[in-house]
Chain A
Amino acid sequence: MARTITFQQAINEALSQEMARDPSVIVMGEDNVGGMGADGEMDAWGGVLGVTKGLYPKYGERVMDTPISESAFIGAAIGAATAGMRPVAELMFIDFMGVCFDQIFNQAAKFRYMFGGKAKTPVVIRTMVGAGFRAAAQHSQMLYSIFTHIPGLKVVIPATPYDAKGLMIQSIRDNDPVIFCEHKMLYGVQGEVPEEIYTIPFGEANVAREGKNVTVVTLGRMLHVALEAAANLAKNNIQCEVIDLRTTSPMDEDTILESVQKTGRLVVVDEANPRCNIATDVSAIVAQKAFRALKAPIEMVTAPHTPVPFSPDLEDLYIPNAAKIEAAVVKVMAYKG
């Protein structure tokens, strides 16, 4: 039965249900329990923002705190995966990939291919992404494109509580390493989520809103901003079709291309920096595979090519907003060959 819970609760529920179902699922990360070795309460934090809270009381030693040693424990999760476990490791912020990237892209991503198909590495690396938290340059980035670039990794960016639960369960059951990107500004977002266990397949985009005039492809938190823009534009009789990619590796090209065949116009909205991001990737695919369908040049709405600023005024300018998306849509609608 569905009921309304938050994005954060949806992820917690997915972890808990999979841990109950499969004893090989273990959870680890900095402060994922909280209070380890101290004199006060255990499960004091349940992760820095509380996503794993309540798991330790239920599953005991299968929920593990780690030293602040991302190379060691992300690598340990990967090693445990090759040795038969299904670890879910938390890289607290995706920005911290810099201190453990080797274990992810040279080890986990390569094993299956490099070892001639004989290795399975069923590890999930949960990581917080995105701006808006006033967390500044080293805790706010959208680095999913870097992982999407690497063969052997799968990359998941849920936008709703429903998707977060279904995609997390799918991620845990997948036999390849999965980078699971959780936008920190979505944790409090509420939505209908079934209590039952369900999965959402990778590589299936969600058409979040249908429309005939402009295709808006987006992902993560930007889905909500794009839907806000689409609602505003509908008042002026511009109908946007809003597509949420949900996963960038694999990526659902068919849904994008079918939509562009219908609308003839494309706006891609991506919270990442503008070079070599998901927006440029989607644009390249559409330019190559649906060139004749296009009635206007593709528009991209992204963050600027700058680090994420701290000052709230500056950060708000940095993050793509509905007005910018609306302007891009109006621009492609107004284009006259």
Chain B
Amino acid sequence: MATTLSREDLLRAYRMMKTIREFEERVHTEFATGDIPGFVHLYAGEEASATGVCMHLNENDKIASTHRGHGHCIAKGVDVDGMMAEIYGKATGTCRGKGGSMHIADLDMGMMGANGIVGGGPPLICGAGLAAKFKKKNGVAIAFVGDGGSNQGTTLESLNLATVWQLPCIFVMENNGYAESTASKWSVACKDIVERAHGFGMPGVMVDGHDFFAVYEAAGEAVQRARGGAGPTLIECKLNRYFGHFEGDAQTYRGVDEVKKLRETKDCINGFAKRVTGAGMLSRAELDAIDKQVLAQIDSAVAKAKAAPKPAASELLTDVYMSY
């Protein structure tokens, strides 16, 4: 499957992962200044999962995300300026400042929302898959779920429903090892989440979520199955997050130097770069050029977000039916 990726695909994948990384590293830094309100959950470290999956999708396809949603949004094509402004709670944000980090959505792009409720997305994705089935345009619908969300009843019910209704759905279980501060090796009763696929009558695939190519290949097969009317698939991506559950999490539950070692040995972007440059598919200079462009893009997004107006007071009462 990896061989089917063109140079343009590889450049796009690298840019996507790098954009997510830079976005998250920057939000991490900016959050520390106190300018960003509320809860922020960062996706840094997990980029290969969102990218490897969303590289297969078009605007007609739908995804539902989690509280750790920035990476999925970027991978699905949501405008980075709008996202940054949303995180700052500004009028120019994707949701006009009314959603925030945990609720970035762009229905036009097929992004059905980050979600503040763990396990909130899978039922919705069954619905998106059902709509795709009725519309007969070969659409697929993908729920990203964390290891914590994999234990929610909503997720388990959705796995069952997706098979019963033979929906074009894919459940991507991003197992980053921790539900908040609780280790998944303790909270997930089976050894691997992927084992659950069997119980719900669908294929399950486990991949190294640090490896873009592994994710891309597994997702490609699942998307093909879904588009071909062969029903849902569960993919477990074993991966790691670089930051805490949310910003401000001191992560004392993690091992000494755990994150440092992960960054040195498991980093998905370094791994990707090494592989594509080593195989002579892309040059380091090309990647450096992308790095520079991405950095400038994120700088600009932050500057625009900071300068953007706050929502007008009248916005409080719009976009909802008022009967009082």
Contact = CB atoms under 8 A, between A and B. Distances in A.
Interface in A109-129: 110-119
B161 A69 contact: yes
A72 B152 CA distance: 11
Interface stretch (A99-107, A138-146, A270-278): A99-107
Q: Which of A26, A64, A73, A87 has the most CB of B within 10 A?
A: A73
Interface stretch (A12-20, A76-84, A229-237): A76-84
B90 to A, nearest CB: 11
B320 A118 contact: no
Q: Which of A67, A79, A87 has the most CB of B within 10 A?
A: A79
- Size bin of chain A's contact surface: 35 or more
B123 A117 contact: no
Given A69-B157, A78-B123, A115-B99, A151 B320 contact: yes
A78 B117 contact: no
Given A72-B161, A85-B130, A79 B323 contact: no
B224 interface: no
Interface stretch (B104-112, B238-246, B289-297): B104-112
A117 B323 CA distance: 17
Contact of A77 (B97, B127, B135): B127
Contact of B126 (A79, A82, A112, A152): A79
Interface in B12-47: none
B107 A76 contact: no
Contacts, number: 153
Given A78-B127, A83-B62, A102-B120, A118 B321 contact: no
B161 A67 contact: yes
A44 B134 CA distance: 24
Contact of A72 (B103, B158, B323): B158
Contacts of A304: none
A249 interface: yes
A304 B94 CA distance: 47
B320 A75 contact: no
Given A112-B319, A115-B99, A76 B124 contact: yes
Given A26-B134, A85-B130, A112 B160 contact: no
Contacts of B135: 84
B323 A81 contact: no
B134 A74 contact: no
B131 A80 contact: yes
Nearest to A83: B131
A6 interface: no
A249 B165 contact: no
Contacts of B95: 114-116, 118
A103 B154 CA distance: 9
Contact of B319 (A72, A83, A117, A203): A117
Contacts of B112: 79, 82-83
A77 B125 CA distance: 10
A2 B95 CA distance: 47
Interface string A49-65: 00000000000001010
Contact of A116 (B64, B126, B161, B319): B319
Contact of A80 (B106, B107, B116, B128): B128
A190 interface: no
A286 interface: no
B52 to A, nearest CB: 23
A71 interface: yes
A163 interface: no
B127 A71 contact: no
Interface string A308-320: 0000000000000
A102 B117 contact: yes
Contacts of A66: 161, 164
A102 B93 CA distance: 26
B127 A81 contact: yes
B145 to A, nearest CB: 13
A102 B154 contact: yes
B219 interface: no
A279 to B, nearest CB: 17
B160 A67 contact: yes
Contacts of A107: 115, 117, 120, 124
B98 interface: yes
A72 B321 contact: no
B3 interface: no
Q: Which of B106, B122, B161, B323 has the most CB of A within 10 A?
A: B323
Nearest to A71: B154
Contact of A76 (B93, B96, B117, B123): B123
Q: Which of B96, B132, B161 has the most CB of A within 10 A?
A: B161
B161 A83 contact: no
Contact of A79 (B98, B123, B320, B322): B123
Contacts of A62: 134
Given A71-B154, A72-B158, A113 B319 contact: yes
Contacts of A299: none
Given A71-B153, A116-B96, A116-B98, A76 B318 contact: no
Contacts of A113: 98, 319-320
Interface of B: 62, 64, 93-99, 103, 105-108, 112-113, 115-117, 120, 122-128, 130-132, 134-135, 141, 153-154, 157-158, 160-161, 164-165, 318-323
6 contacts: A80-B130, A83-B62, A83-B112, A85-B127, A111-B105, A116-B97
Given A69-B160, A72-B126, A151-B321, 4 more contacts: A71-B157, A71-B158, A72-B160, A79-B131
